[in-house]
Structure formats: structure tokens, C-alpha cells
Amino acid sequence: MSESETEGEVSDEQKIGIAKWFLLNSPSGEIQYVAKDVKAILKDENVYNIAAGEAFPVYNKEHFICLQFPNRSGDVLITSFGEIRDNEYIDPRTCQVAIVDHVKQVCKEVRPANDEELPSPYIEEYRCSLDVEISKYVGEAYPKGVCSVYCVTGKDVEAPGDNFELVVVISAARHSPQNFCNGSWRSTWNIEFNDELQIIEVKGTMQVGAHYFEEGNVQLDAKHDSKDSTIFQPPDDSAVALTSMIRYHETEYLSSLQTSYSNLPDSTFKDLRRKLPVTRTLFPWHNTLQFSLTRDISKELGLDK
């Protein structure tokens, strides 16, 4: 056995795996900060490049990051639904394909989409109508939110009679590292148009991520699935009905999150507490809403003496 294989030494493969874990679990908008620290800890450019090259594309697609075109003619969402091939992502709204650098998180080039990369005129009419309505909704509901509508199956359908599927992706992020907080909203809506049954089936997944790290490290990672359906209608009518449905489910979920937060002091926090703190003094749970994490709690527990 060589010295490099001695017991207890971490192999390059293990280092890559550990580095990827940290990168992939970075909170929204913080992967570049994590990458800088990971690179410093590894002290091995080759190992870091392998880990980053594998982790960044996955992270970017999972977080629906939005990149600006070099010519400022628009933006492109980085999602698996718009992936043409490695490092190439289509923006259906502008019919352009962005060539991106995942690790630097920038769009390097833009080219026009080929005909085979675009849906048929029949499908595009449904896609475009839905994109218009969803864009209006996102503009009203999410500050700095972005969205895109993709055709994922049946893009070659030329006329009524066959099924097809669209996907709505909504992404909104608020990054404020100077204030020690970052957050994101991500939702995906799979919309299946069943021509035979004249029904549109809708399946949605909504995700909320938040990170607050002033004098602490508190993270939220919540996820919720929804299902619904409506009748098959012409493009404009379908777009209005589907957008109203999406608005309803997302509003309901956000309201439920707000309700959960209002109940935190009397439920979740109590469930997490130690029965008797190390100070041997019971925590005054009746007063939790009046405390700050640093000054008031320390004063109440006598820890500031």
C-alpha cells in the first residue's frame, strides 16, 4: 500500500464528493461565496475544477437562475426544460439560445434557435398566450420575478387531435447579503393538454428557500405540491383559466406559510426547546414575541452579566 492510500487519508474522489455536497447545498444566491471557501480549503485547483464543473450546472438548473444576454436583448432562465444540450438553453419568448458558463454564471453568447428547436405554430399559439398571461401575473405578484413557458412534449403537433404538454417556470429571488439574508421562490407547473378527453391536467411544485445569517444561521426550505384541472379551451381562454388557477394555488400556499410563521412562537419553537436550559432557568415562552435574539433573550436569562 502506498503512502497516499494510508488509512485516514481522504482521496481526491472523496474530496470532490464533499466539495460537491457543499456547493449543491448552498442557499439561494450564495454558491459563489461557498465556492470561494471550498476552493481555499481544498488547495487543489484540479480537484476544485472537477467538483465545480459537476456541481454548478445542477445547482443553476435547480435554482432557476436568470442570466442576462450579452447584448442586453433579454434574459434566459437556466432550467432543465429549456436545455438544448450541454451549456445551451433556449429562451422561448425571444426564440434565442444562450450559451452559458455555469461556473461563472454568465451568458457568453447568443444564437437564433433552429426550427427544430421551436414548437409548431399550433403549439406556439398556446405557449405564447400562456406566456403573456403568466408574465402579467408574475409582474404583479413577484418583485423582480421572471418566468418562462416551455413545450416539453408534442411540440411537433400541427393541429387539434393530439396531446401536448407545457411547463410554466416561475423564479423570484431577493438577495441581500449586506443585510445577512437571501431568499427565493421557485414554482414549476406541468400542464398536460389531453385532446381526447378535452381536459387540461395541472401539477405544480412550489418551493421557498430563505437564509438568515446575522449572528446565527437559520434556513428555511419548504416545498408543496398541488394538482388541479380545467377544460380544454382555445389558446387565449386556456391561458386565462390556467393563470387564474396558478395564482390561486400560489396565493394559498403563501398564506399558509404566513400562518405557520405567526404560530412559530407557540408551537414549533416550543417543540424544539430544551426542557430546562443550561442556566437551570425556565425560558419565558409567554414573552417570545418581544425578544430580539441577541439583546433581550440574553437579558432575560441573565447571560449578559
Q: What is the pLDDT of residues 135-168, one digit of tens each?
A: 999 999 998 899 999 999 999 999 999 999 999 9
Report yes or no on 165 lying in a domain: yes
Report yes or no on 205 lying in a domain: yes
β 88-91/75-77 pair status: unpaired
Position 220 scores a pLDDT of 83
Q: In this structure, are 167 and 206 located in the same domain?
A: yes
Position 272 scores a pLDDT of 55
233: left (phi over 0), alpha (psi -120 to 50) or beta: beta
What is the pTM (predicted TM-score) of this model? 0.83
Position 113 scores a pLDDT of 95
Q: What is the pLDDT of residues 5-42, one digit of tens each?
A: 455 688 999 999 999 999 999 999 999 999 999 999 99
Position 106 scores a pLDDT of 96
Q: Which amino acid is at 161?
A: G
Long-range pairs, 25-29, Cβ under 8 A, ≥24: 26/59, 27/182, 27/209, 27/210, 27/211, 27/219, 28/63, 28/173, 28/175, 28/182, 28/183, 28/184, 28/209, 28/210, 28/211, 29/173, 29/175, 29/177, 29/182, 29/184
Q: In this structure, are 206 and 132 located in the same domain?
A: yes
Q: In this structure, are 56 and 70 located in the same domain?
A: no
Report yes or no on 1 lying in a domain: no
Q: In this structure, are 98 and 191 located in the same domain?
A: no
* Residues lower than pLDDT 70 in the chain: 1-8, 263-305
Q: In this structure, are 175 and 232 located in the same domain?
A: yes
Q: In this structure, are 208 and 284 located in the same domain?
A: no
Position 227 scores a pLDDT of 97
Structural domain harbouring 217: 119-262
